[in-house]
Amino acid sequence: MELINRYIYAVIKDLPEKQREDISKELKTLIDDMLEGEGEEKNDAVAVKKVLKELDDPAILASKYRGSERYLIGPGNYDSYIMILKIVTVAIFIGVSISKILGGIFSPEGNLLSVTIDYLVSLFVGVLQGFAWVTIGFAIAEQKGSKIEDTIEKENQWSLDDLPEVPQKEARISRVESGFSIVFTTIFFSLLYFNPQLFAIYSRGAEGTVVTPVLNIDALSGFKGMIIGIFLLNVLKETIKLIKGRWNLRLAVVTSILSAMSMIITLYVFNRPSIWNPELNAQIAKHLDIGIEQSTAVLGIVIIASAIEIVTSLYKGYKYNSTKL
């Protein structure tokens, strides 16, 4: 019966993933036994509602399965925490490695020892920052979750009407897609942060390869804090999607706000003429017959891409919305 499935889903949805199947089977057996004890069947809606009310609030039942201990990162979020931590760590490793390797190829500086030390230090700092931000984010989420749970327990009021819908397959968010997005974002911003000179136009000249950086490196250095901010907003957006696991209107609004914030900061940084290499337009004109400035083109792409992402998120959130989360 749908109501039973919704109740079980409400209990297991925030439990560690490896426990969900066993607990789901246990609850199904328990509910069947309770119905049998009442001399009723699953298709008797009144009996089902009575049994589910006896089992109590799904949030409280879930907390009993988790245990009542206090954690920095509780069992309900631990699997997601480890997964995000692994993704971010791998992404940082790949991003910093690519950045330093390409930097060493195109802009060789120092001897092997100094380059190796610089790479290891950058890798250590990057992984440490990634670990810190992920842990802080989950710790905040854990504390907020605990407060909500405590409120539920104190009020001890719930209704079967509050049970969330079991999500449709189309409403589920792909972990692979979000994980790939985090990896790609980390690689891109690692290159932009550590080796922005690699974003360049490479052309052949009389004396060999001519490298024309796209950005004004000196001007960009003053905005590195904002670049980190853009990076964190994008990773946070994908992390929230990974944790929630399904589309709903609330998630769509939150991710859309994060996308809009990222877009605004991006426009603020890259709409400045000083951020671009003044020689870039001349190099572009040599190869392409276009009458548009690079800043206009880039900002146009950012706006269009952000708008598509926001509209798509809101559409999915509206289509698969369930206010019973």
Q: What was the pLDDT predicted at 263? A: 94
Whether residue 73 contacts residue 139, with contact meaning beta carbons closer than 8 Å, is answered with yes
- pLDDT at position 142 is 67
Q: Which residues pair with 172 in a beta bridge?
A: 246
Record the pTM. Answer: 0.66
| pLDDT score recorded for residue 308 | 95
User: What pLDDT does residue 257 have?
Assistant: 95
pLDDT given at position 309: 93
86-119: b (≥16 Cβ within 10 Å) or e: ebbbbbbbebbebbbeebbeeeeeeeeeebeebb
**For the chain, which residues score pLDDT lower than 70?**
1, 38-43, 66-71, 74-76, 106-110, 141-162, 164-168, 205-206, 208, 281-295, 322-325
Residue-wise pLDDT tens digits, 210-261: 778 888 888 998 998 999 899 889 988 988 888 777 888 889 999 999 999 9
Taking a C-beta distance cutoff of 8 angstroms, is the pair 251, 240 a contact? yes
- Three-class DSSP labels, the chain: CHHHHHHHHHHHCCCCHHHHHHHHHHHHHHHHHHHHHCCCCCCCHHHHHHHHHHHCCHHHHHHHHHCCCCCCCCHHHHHHHHHHHHHHHHHHHHHHHHHHHHHHHHCCCCCHHHHHHHHHHHHHHHHHHHHHHHHHHHHHHHHHHHHHHHHHHHHCCCCHHHCCCCCCHHHECCHHHHHHHHHHHHHHHHHHHHCHHHCEEEEEECCEEEEEECECHHHHHHHHHHHHHHHHHHHHHHHHHHHHCECCHHHHHHHHHHHHHHHHHHHHHHCCHHHECCCHHHHHHHHCCCCCCHHHHHHHHHHHHHHHHHHHHHHHHHHCCCCCC
Q: Quick one: pLDDT at residue 246?
A: 83
**Residue-level pLDDT at 325:** 46
**307 φ, ψ (degrees, to nearest 5):** -65, -45
pLDDT at position 82 is: 84
**How much is the pLDDT for 262?**
94
CA atoms of 123 and 104, how far apart (whole Å)? 15
